[in-house]
Amino acid sequence: MSSSKNLTSAALLVAAMTLTLSLSAGAEVVDRGNLRVSFTGKLSPRTLPRSGAAPISVTVAAKIAATAGAKPPQLRRMTIAINANGRLDPGALPRCTVEQIQPATTEGALEACRGSLVGRGSFSARVLLPEQTPFPSAGEVYAFNGTYKGRPAILAHVYGTEPAPTSYTLPFQITRGKGGFGTLLTASLPQVTSEWGYVTGLSLALAGRGKKGPYLSAGCPAPEGFPGAVFPFARSVFAFADGKALSATLTRSCKVRG
Amino acid sequence: MRRPWRGLTALPVLLLALSVPSPASAAFGLQAGSAGFDASVTEQNGSPTGPAGSHPFVLSLHAGFSGGDVRHLRLELPAGLIENPRAVPQCVQAEFAAGCSEASQVGMLTLRSGGAGRAFPLFNLTPAPGRPSQLGARPFGAPLTLTPTIRQGSGEYGITLTASNVTQVVAIEALDLTVWGNPWATAHDGQRGSCLNPVDPDAPLGQCPIDTEAVGQLPRAYLTMPTDCGMPLRFGVAASAWDSAGAPTATVQRQTPSDCASLPFSFGAAAVPSTAVASSPTGLTMRLTSSQAGLTSPAQRFASQPRRAVATLAEGITINPSVGAGLGACTPAQFAAESAASAPGEGCPNPSKIGVGSVETPLVDEILDGALFIATPFDNPYGAPYALYFVAKAPQRGFVVKVAGKLDADPLSGRLVATFDGLPQLPYSNLRLEFREGQRAPLVSPAACGSYANRIALQPWANTTAPPPEATAFPIMRGAGGGPCISGGAPFVPQAAAGSLNARAGAHSTFYLHLTRTDAEQEITSYSAQLPPGLLGAIAGVPFCSDAAIEDAKRRSGNAELNAPSCRAASQIGRTYSGYGAGLAPAYTAGRFYLAGPYHGAPLSVVAINPALVGPFDLGTVVIRSAIQVDPRSAQVTIDSSASDPIPHIFSGIPLRLRDVRVYIDRPGFMVNPTDCSRFEIVSTLSGSDVPFTDPRDVLATAAVPFQASDCSSLGFAPRVALALKGKPKRGGYQQLRVTVTPRAGDANISSAAVTLPPSIFLAQNHIRAICTRGQSATDSCPGPSVIGRAEALTPLLSDPLKGPVYLRSSDNPLPDLVTVLHGPGGIRIFLECRIDSFRRGMRGSCENLPDAPVTKFTMTIHGGRKRGILQSAENLCRTPRKGIAKLIGQANLGQASKPGLTVRCPKRKSKKKRSVRHRSQRRPG
pLDDT tens-digit map of A185-239: 999 886 555 667 788 899 999 888 888 888 988 889 888 888 898 888 888 999 9
What is the enclosing helix (H) or strand (E) of A82? Answer: strand A75-83
Nearest to B665 by CA among B797, B527, B825, B500: B500
DSSP output for B182-208: STT-GGGGGGSGGGS-SS-TTSPP---
Q: Which residues are CB-neighbours of B634 under 8 A, at least 6 positions away? A: B533, B849, B851, B852
What is the distance between the alpha carbons of residues B453 and B647, in angstroms, rounded to a whole number?
A: 30
A65 touches chain B (CB under 8 A): no
List chain A residues with CB under 8 Å of B810.
129-132
Span B739-774, pLDDT tens digits: 999 999 999 999 999 999 999 999 888 788 889 998
Alpha helices in B702-854 (DSSP H): 774-778
Q: How many CB atoms sit inside 10 A of residue B342's CB? A: 16
Say yes or no for a CB contact (<8 Å) between B813 and A163.
Answer: yes
Residue A91 has pLDDT above 50, yes or no: yes
Residue A182 has pLDDT above 60, yes or no: yes
- pLDDT of amino acid B919: 44
Residue B16 has pLDDT above 50, yes or no: no
Q: How many CA atoms lie within 13 A of B772 on its CB side?
A: 26
Average the pLDDT over A170-188 and give the result. Answer: 89
B776 touches chain A (CB under 8 A): no
| Minimum CA–CA partner of A126 in chain B | B814
- pLDDT of amino acid B423: 84
Residue B41 has pLDDT above 90, yes or no: yes
- What is the layout of strands, in order, in the sheet containing B353-360? B267-273, B284-290, B430-435, B353-360, B367-374, B387-394, B399-409, B416-421, B306-312, B450-460, B470-476
What is the enclosing helix (H) or strand (E) of A16? Answer: helix A2-24
Q: Which residue has the higher pLDDT, B916 or B204?
A: B204
- pLDDT of amino acid B424: 81
What is the distance between the alpha carbons of residues B826 and B844, in angstroms, rounded to a whole number?
A: 33
Q: Radius of gyration (Cα) for chain A, nearest Å?
A: 20
What is the distance between the alpha carbons of residues A162 and B312, in angstroms, rounded to a whole number?
A: 83
- pLDDT of amino acid B341: 85
What is the distance between the alpha carbons of residues A67 and A33, in angstroms, rounded to a whole number?
A: 8
- pLDDT of amino acid A194: 63
Residue B917 has pLDDT above 60, yes or no: no
- pLDDT of amino acid B593: 96
Average the pLDDT over B430-459 and give the result. Answer: 92
Q: How many CB pairs under 8 A join A and B?
A: 84
Say yes or no for a CB contact (<8 Å) between B875 and A193.
Answer: no
What is the distance between the alpha carbons of residues B534 and A83, in angstroms, rounded to a whole number?
A: 71
Say yes or no for a CB contact (<8 Å) between A164 and B837.
Answer: yes
Residue B768: which of A161, A191, A194 has the nearest Cβ?
A194
A140 touches chain B (CB under 8 A): no
List chain B residues with CB under 8 Å of A111.
none
Say yes or no for a CB contact (<8 Å) between A192 and B841.
Answer: no
Average pLDDT of chain B to the nearest whole number: 88
Residue A130: which of B773, B841, B842 has the nearest Cβ?
B773
Residue B179 has pLDDT above 90, yes or no: yes
Contact indicator for B208, B102 with CB cutoff of 8 Å: yes
Span B273-328, pLDDT tens digits: 999 999 999 999 999 998 787 888 888 999 888 888 999 999 999 999 988 888 99
Residue B703 has pLDDT above 60, yes or no: yes
Q: Is A38 exposed, middle or buried (0-12, 13-18, 19+ CB in 10 A)?
A: middle
Contact indicator for B582, B440 with CB cutoff of 8 Å: no
Contact indicator for B761, B842 with CB cutoff of 8 Å: yes
Average the pLDDT over B331-335 and give the result. Answer: 95
- pLDDT of amino acid B307: 86
Residue B202 has pLDDT above 80, yes or no: no
What is the distance between the alpha carbons of residues B436 and B273, in angstroms, rounded to a whole number?
A: 10
**Residue B592: band (very low, low, confident or very high) from pLDDT cuts 50, 70, 90:** very high
**Residue B11: band (very low, low, confident or very high) from pLDDT cuts 50, 70, 90:** very low
B869 touches chain A (CB under 8 A): no
Residue B689 has pLDDT above 90, yes or no: no
- Which has the minimum average pLDDT: A100-104, B144-148, B385-389, B695-699? B695-699
Interface test with B, best of A102, A166, A170 (most B CBs within 10 A): A166
What is the enclosing helix (H) or strand (E) of B693? Answer: none
Highest mean pLDDT among A245-249, B293-297, B481-485, B739-743: B739-743
- A166 vs B20, B374, B575, B808, CA distance in Å? 137, 85, 59, 17
Q: How many CB atoms sit inside 10 A of residue B378's CB? A: 14
What is the distance between the alpha carbons of residues A27 and B377, in angstroms, rounded to a whole number?
A: 101
Residue B801 has pLDDT above 80, yes or no: yes
A99, amino acid identity: E
B766 touches chain A (CB under 8 A): yes
Q: How many CA atoms lie within 13 A of A63 on its CB side?
A: 9
Average pLDDT of chain A to the nearest whole number: 82
**Residue B25: band (very low, low, confident or very high) from pLDDT cuts 50, 70, 90:** low
Residue B874: which of A99, A103, A131 has the nearest Cβ?
A103
Q: How many CB atoms sit inside 10 A of residue A21's CB? A: 17
Q: Which residues are CB-neighbours of B283 under 8 A, at least 6 positions away? A: B273, B274, B275, B355, B434, B435, B436, B437, B438, B441, B442, B443
Residue B171 has pLDDT above 80, yes or no: yes
Contact indicator for B680, B503 with CB cutoff of 8 Å: no
Q: How far apart are the first and last CA of chain A?
A: 29
- Give the B window 795-824 contacts with A, CB below 8 Å: 810-816
Q: How many CA atoms lie within 13 A of B655 on its CB side?
A: 34
List chain A residues with CB under 8 Å of B816.
129, 132
Say yes or no for a CB contact (<8 Å) between A167 and B875.
Answer: no
Span A27-69, pLDDT tens digits: 788 888 888 889 888 888 989 998 888 899 989 899 988 877 6
Residue B190 has pLDDT above 50, yes or no: yes
Q: Which long-range contacts (CB under 8 A, 24 or more apart) does B694-700 make?
A: B694/B412, B698/B525, B698/B526, B699/B489, B699/B492, B699/B522
- pLDDT of amino acid A2: 41
Contact indicator for B253, B43 with CB cutoff of 8 Å: no
Average the pLDDT over A236-246 and give the result. Answer: 88
- pLDDT of amino acid B9: 39
| pTM of this structure | 0.77
User: Where are any strands of DSSP class E within B242-295?
Assistant: 249-253, 267-273, 281-282, 284-290
Say yes or no for a CB contact (<8 Å) between B763 and A165.
Answer: yes
- What is the layout of strands, in order, in the sheet containing B604-614? B495-500, B511-516, B658-665, B572-580, B587-596, B604-614, B617-630, B637-640, B523-530, B679-689, B699-708
Say yes or no for a CB contact (<8 Å) between A105 and B773.
Answer: no
A97 touches chain B (CB under 8 A): no
What is the enclosing helix (H) or strand (E) of B16? Answer: helix B10-19
Highest mean pLDDT among B487-496, B729-738, B845-854: B845-854
What is the distance between the alpha carbons of residues B367 and B586, in angstroms, rounded to a whole number?
A: 35
List chain A residues with CB under 8 Å of B764.
103, 166
**Residue B901: band (very low, low, confident or very high) from pLDDT cuts 50, 70, 90:** very high
Nearest CA distance, A168 vs chain B (angstrom): 9
**Residue A6: band (very low, low, confident or very high) from pLDDT cuts 50, 70, 90:** very low
